Amino acid sequence: MKFIDEARIVAHSGSGGNGSASFRREKYVPKGGPDGGNGGRGGDVIFRADASLKTLLDYHYRRQYKAGNGGHGEGGKRSGKTGADIVLKVPVGTEVKDGEGNLLCDLASGGMEFAALKGGRGGRGNACFATPWRQAPDYAEEGKKGEEAEFVLNLKLLADVGIIGLPNAGKSTLINRISACRAKVADYPFTTLTPNLGVVKVSDDETFVVADCPGIIKDAHRGIGLGVKFLKHIERTRVIVHLVDASTEDYDAALGTVEEELRGYNPEVIERPTIQCLCKIDLVQDRTRIENFLAGKKDKRVTRHAISSLTGAGIEELVYKIAELLKLTQPHFQNHRTESRAGGVFGERIDDERH
């Protein structure tokens, strides 16, 4: 399945139905009076996070979406039917933005809903305007038109751990080793073009989700290469595993290149717990290089490990260290209440009185 993590769509809420200007006329009912019913309200446009979806592929091929219109009122005080809401299902972790890129809501958990556009109000029939001094109103209201807006959908993967590094650092090999993921592995740069997700089992009752993010190059935060298409998937992770190839001549320079890109994209990400991991140590003949790496930079945020995804050396220790750090951190997704166009708030569905 093709992985699509961005889409731009146009949505329309339904228009309200017109009210009816009708009078009751029956043989044995003199002075029947006005009996025009109200128009039905138009349907809303609602975004809903669905855990079964993994990509925005559907919105890549279809861009226009419209809710149902409300029915017109009829005589006998019969109200028009309410227009059908349109529910746009998106993967968990999807941000909904307006056409200018302003964040409207972050659907960060399954089942969460956001009412983005409100359906038009139905017009009142002439029965609503009857008063003791105006007993035969011959007019009714038209229904209110629905709203139209452009939305930008931006999917950011929900993973506990992000594996990052320069191209060909060994990220895909590591995720294949510690999970059931089967990411593509090859001996050329940018083998991974889209993030891979895997579930790592620590014990019978403890697991975590890890994302293998494609290689990050210099000036990626400025859009070089695939730029922010790679970096954005790291924003939600709680722990970062930063891989550096043991055959690299200058470890600190390789680590610094990726860290600068993270800092340029989102300074908060660089402050998260990080495991700097020297990989492919099975290819290193001079063991003092490994020892010098492990004895290097250490602080409360950064720890260092050395592993070989091929032989399994250091893998178990790495998994347990990740699990330990995850217990000390909280998810980093947007969880504020966001006012919706339809009068609701982030994570809630508000149903107004309909007629």
Residue numbers of the domain that contains 219: 161-326
**Other CB atoms closer than 10 Å to residue 323's CB: what's the count?**
18
Residues 224 and 313 occupy one common structural domain: yes
* Domain CATH code at residue 204: 3.40.50.300
The last residue of a domain, from among 125, 155, 185: 155
Residue 337 lies in a domain: no
Residues 254 and 142 occupy one common structural domain: no
Give pLDDT, residue 225.
53
Residues 193 and 145 occupy one common structural domain: no
E strand or H helix that includes residue 200: strand 196-203
Residues 78 and 169 occupy one common structural domain: no
Q: Is the pLDDT of residue 209 over 90?
A: no
**Do residues 204 and 126 make contact, with C-beta atoms less than 8 angstroms apart?**
no
Residue 207 lies in a domain: yes
Residues 43 and 145 occupy one common structural domain: yes
Residues 297 and 209 occupy one common structural domain: yes
Residues 218 and 306 occupy one common structural domain: yes
Residues 185 and 233 occupy one common structural domain: yes
The last residue of a domain, from among 155, 176, 199: 155
Q: Is the pLDDT of residue 304 over 80?
A: yes
Structure-model confidence comparison of residues 191 and 64, the more confident one: 64
Q: Is the pLDDT of residue 345 over 80?
A: no
Residue 62 lies in a domain: yes
Residue 243: alpha-carbon gap to chain centroid: 27
Residue 17 lies in a domain: yes
* Domain CATH code at residue 126: 2.70.210.12
Where is average pLDDT lowest: 15-19, 31-35, 317-321, 344-348? 344-348
Residues 171, 279: Cα–Cα separation, whole Å: 9
Residues 151 and 166 occupy one common structural domain: no
Residue 352 lies in a domain: no
Residue 298 lies in a domain: yes
Residues 76, 135: Cα–Cα separation, whole Å: 16
Structure-model confidence comparison of residues 117 and 221, the more confident one: 117
Residues 162, 156: Cα–Cα separation, whole Å: 12
Residues 224 and 322 occupy one common structural domain: yes
State the pLDDT confidence band at 220, using cuts at 50, 70 and 90. Answer: low
Give pLDDT, residue 179.
82
**Do residues 192 and 212 make contact, with C-beta atoms less than 8 angstroms apart?**
yes
Residues 326, 140: Cα–Cα separation, whole Å: 62
Residues 165 and 131 occupy one common structural domain: no
Residue 128 lies in a domain: yes
Reported as a single tens digit per residue, the pLDDT across 2-45 is 557 789 999 999 999 999 999 988 777 777 789 999 999 999 99
In the chain, the number of structural domains is 2
Mean pLDDT of 281-289: 84
Give pLDDT, residue 336.
38
The last residue of a domain, from among 155, 188, 209: 155
Contacts of 236 (CB under 8 A, 6+ apart): 93, 108, 156, 157, 158, 159, 331, 332, 333
Mean pLDDT of 74-96: 92
Residue 332 lies in a domain: no
Residues 102 and 70 occupy one common structural domain: yes
